[in-house]
Amino acid sequence: MEKNSTFIHSKLYDHYKDKVILITGGTGSIGSQIVCELVKYSPNKIIILSKDDTKQYLMKQRFKNFTNIYYLLGDIRDYQRVEYVSQGVDYIFHCAALKQVPTCEENPDEAIKTNLLGSLNIIEAAIKNKVKKVINISTDKAVNPTNTMGVTKLLAEKLFTQANFKLNNQHTKFSSVRFGNVLGSRGSIIPLLMDQLLNQKPLTITDLIMTRFFMSIKEAVQLTIQAGVYAEGGEIYILKMKALKLSDLVDSLIVLAKQKKLKEPEVQIIGKRPGEKLFEELASEYELNNMYENDEMYVISSRPPSNDIFKKSYLSDYRSDKVNLINQVEILHILKEHDRQ
């Protein structure tokens, strides 16, 4: 394992050393952690593009010792700004998006402007400026989508895949990574329920039999930056991950309450929100026919990857209700880690 870790670090270092890297949505949970990881590999410059000046200020304090990180205000909906910040860039990690299912459901026009038109701006700017690679951050909700957010992310995946075949694209490779739920990211369920538990409020649960794929922020970041190395254009990279059942999460929160000498929390079943499914999928039935794998990830590709670390996969489905579940010991560890933050 250690040898493999050293080998991967060496490949990442060789790939990102002295490069100029743009991260859209770079002040978010994922974007900021990508920065945290990339600085280990001696890039020439990391450019943060985001529209929240407060988050940029806080991030500047966090990374104040790094002189090669640049912070630019801007919105991916603004093509001129995106084109400007893409000049001289080698790699783009596209993290900026509207990600909350209820928000997108209530504001579909805004979801389209950010998740689709914003993605088109990234694509056109990258091609114009001859960026080497662009990695688009996607989600399991893009598979057989039932909500606006999932639909926009699926179409964004299609845009990035098709961008490899644009007539004016002679230099840029576009690929995507598909996440499950990221533990501890802003707006995710664990911070919400932990806040309710610690403040002695009822735990609001949509449905106890609901399952969700989960990955740590560290795993999400590693998947993303490794995809930046492996990408040949048109692939979708997916981490191999376990799932979490909401009933198991509730049971673990009750155990944690006892350990912290808090009163047992009340559980309120609020029902599925508009557009939610009882389980998520990370690959469609069609995509399973074009799936390859190594020990850590799957890759969906219309052609076999040239890298021999990937072999043909014969997975029959990839659903959150049919994979191994995170057990109570693991859940309690996750909850306690979050509590320490």
Tokens found for residue 309: 């670390």
End-to-end, the C-alpha distance of the chain in Å comes to 28
| Residue 334 C-beta-side C-alpha neighbours within 13 Å | 25
Task: Name the nearest CA neighbour of 33 among 216, 158, 194.
Answer: 216
Q: In what order do the strands lie in the sheet with 243-245?
A: 181-182, 211-215, 243-245
Q: State yes or no: is 322 an active-site residue.
A: no
Indicate the SS3 state at residue 144.
Answer: coil
The string over 94-128, giving b where at least 16 C-beta atoms fall within 10 Å of a residue's C-beta and e elsewhere, is bbbbbbebeebbeeeeebbbbbbebbbbbbbbbbb
Considering the candidates 19, 99, 133, 141, report the single residue annotated as catalytic.
141
Residue type, 306: S
Eight-state DSSP code of residue 325 = B
Q: In whole angstroms, how far apart are CA 33 and each of 44, 93, 197, 218?
A: 18, 12, 27, 8
> Which positions are annotated as active-site residues?
141
